[in-house]
Structure 1
Amino acid sequence: MKLRDRAHVTFIAVSQRSDNIESRAETRDALDQRLTGWVRALGALPLPVPNALGDKLAVWLKTLSPGAVLLSGGNDIGGCPERDRTETELLDHAERAGLPVLGICRGMQMLAHHAGGILLPVSGHAGTRHPLLGDAVASGEMPAEVNSFHNWGLAACPQDYAVLATAPDGSIEAMRHGKRRWEGWMWHPEREAPFGETELARARQLLIGD
């Protein structure tokens, strides 16, 4: 019996950042405790994914059988090959298994990269807040203002995705796949205090189906 069926709860596979601690000669996987709290606020439980499983990641996924995937923030794509490979395999698995996916900040960039999209450096998006624009914002499906902690953005909307929201400078801030339950947000909902109910409701619908 699958783990999520035994516990009657959705377990979400959450990717982790990779931190190189030179003073200790260690490379550590890390997950912000706020993101763990945010997943719990959805009514789900996180399964942090190790970045050093290599060819055993497929066994990990088959054994634990998560019901959804969340790609977290941190690390630029290309800066940590092990994490890039882990998240690529997570997306490949989600595609085969029909699992929903949410990409946060770097996670949205990874969704675009996986779809063959091009990333470009952006300015004025690190350590600030800005409004969101778009029909999903006007309808109340997405927040009117978000935090911003990224230095990379999308050159264009990737194939098979649709833009849900933009920043005032026109850069893409949220997108959704046309056929799969895959969505990307360029901001960090877990860094809001308290957590935004708009994002929680949307993520529950996306990842859990509630």
Structure 2
Amino acid sequence: MAATIGRAGSRSRPLVGITASVHGSRIAAMANRLALWRAGAASVRITVDAPFPIERLDALVVGGGDDIDASLYGESARPHIRIDPDRDRLELLALDRAARLGLPVLGICRGSQMINVHRGGSLHVDIHEVYEEAPHMRTVLPRKRIRIEPDSRLYRILGIAECRVNALHHQSVDRVGDGLRVVARERAGIVQGIEAPAEPFLIGVQWHPEYLIADSRQQALFRRLVVTAMGEAPLDEIAGVAPAQ
């Protein structure tokens, strides 16, 4: 799954950058690369130690990992929470450049939160301090039920109003950033999906679709990202289900 040339020249597959921590999970990296390869794209891992020109990408995935520095959205840092300020700066800059270039962007878990912070939004530093009735759940298996707004792009991609997803987070979107809307929540009210209606593809999901490799609906997120990166018109039935009327 070697990376191709990208926007700077001819390529057989669109090139998607995946941001990650320097010491990020190899399993997560492999899962994202596999999902993108199956969707028709090549990929390149982007870290502080291994940067890559955003101008050469066709799309961007802002991946999962450590928490975001709370000072970026006006909150106090917690001493027991691990942060990576260098990665924060890398991703904010990547999102700036992606916006200028009009690249499609998918945020996964931390990446969804980073999209929100980049747009001026804030986060709940610890969801269980706010949503006391929310179950304490941490699993790569699809155990958490969420509901998706039927008039959203996320719904048109997944083709379903309710589904089960995995959960590997303890933070979530609080105040929504400029130009974004909440398009998915779990029963307790925790935000599970955001998107920018005015953009061709700027979506953040709080779960990890890369781990749900057998779920064709979840893999449709990667397919739509790649389709958009190729400059093709969005396919509202990409998941095999017609959009709501």
TM-score above 0.5: yes
Q: Is the 8 A contact 2:14 2:42 kept in 1?
A: yes
Unaligned runs of 5+ in 1: 20-27
User: Which structure 1 residue ranges, 4+ long, deviate > 4 Å from structure 2?
Assistant: 28-31, 137-140
Matching of residues 23-34 of structure 1 within 5 Å: 32-34=29-31
Unaligned runs of 5+ in 2: 70-82, 129-134, 233-245
Where does residue 159 of structure 2 map in the other structure? Answer: 141
Deviates more, 1:100-109 or 1:38-47: 38-47
Secondary structure of 1:6's aligned partner: coil
Where does residue 205 of structure 2 map in the other structure? Answer: 185
Partners in 2 of 1:14 and 1:185 — Cα distance? 15
Where does residue 43 of structure 2 map in the other structure? Answer: 46
Q: CA deviation at 1:125?
A: 5.2
Count of aligned pairs between the two proteins:
194
Q: Is the 8 A contact 1:174 1:186 kept in 2?
A: yes
The share of aligned pairs that are identical, in percent, is 26
Where does residue 77 of structure 2 map in the other structure? Answer: none
Amino acid at match of 1:205: R
Deviations, residues 58-98 of structure 1 (Å, cap 9, x unaligned): x7334xx1100000101111211111111011100101100
More strand, by proportion: 1
Q: Is the 8 A contact 1:125 1:149 kept in 2?
A: no
Where does residue 32 of structure 2 map in the other structure? Answer: 35
Distance 1:32 1:94, change over 3 A: same
Q: Is the 8 A contact 1:77 1:110 kept in 2?
A: yes
Alignment RMSD: 2.4
Partners in 2 of 1:125 and 1:97 — Cα distance? 39
Partners in 1 of 2:177 and 2:219 — Cα distance? 25
Matching of residues 66-77 of structure 1 within 5 Å: 66-77=57-68
TM-score (norm 2): 0.71
Amino acid at match of 2:31: R
Partners in 2 of 1:175 and 1:148 — Cα distance? 16
Secondary structure of 1:156's aligned partner: coil
Partners in 2 of 1:106 and 1:36 — Cα distance? 17
Q: From 2, 6, 24, give the equivalent of 1:3.
A: 6
Where does residue 156 of structure 1 map in the other structure? Answer: 175
Partners in 2 of 1:138 and 1:98 — Cα distance? 22
Partners in 1 of 2:38 and 2:227 — Cα distance? 12
Partners in 1 of 2:224 and 2:25 — Cα distance? 28
Where does residue 120 of structure 2 map in the other structure? Answer: 116
Where does residue 107 of structure 1 map in the other structure? Answer: 111
Distance 1:100 1:190, change over 3 A: same
Q: CA deviation at 1:179?
A: 1.7
Amino acid at match of 2:209: P
Distance 1:85 1:125, change over 3 A: farther
TM-score (norm 1): 0.82
Partners in 2 of 1:98 and 1:168 — Cα distance? 34
Matching of residues 53-92 of structure 1 within 5 Å: 60-62=53-55, 65-78=56-69, 79-92=83-96
Q: CA deviation at 1:206?
A: 3.2
Deviations, residues 27-66 of structure 1 (Å, cap 9, x unaligned): x78553112111112111111113136xxx5x7334xx11
Where does residue 25 of structure 1 map in the other structure? Answer: none
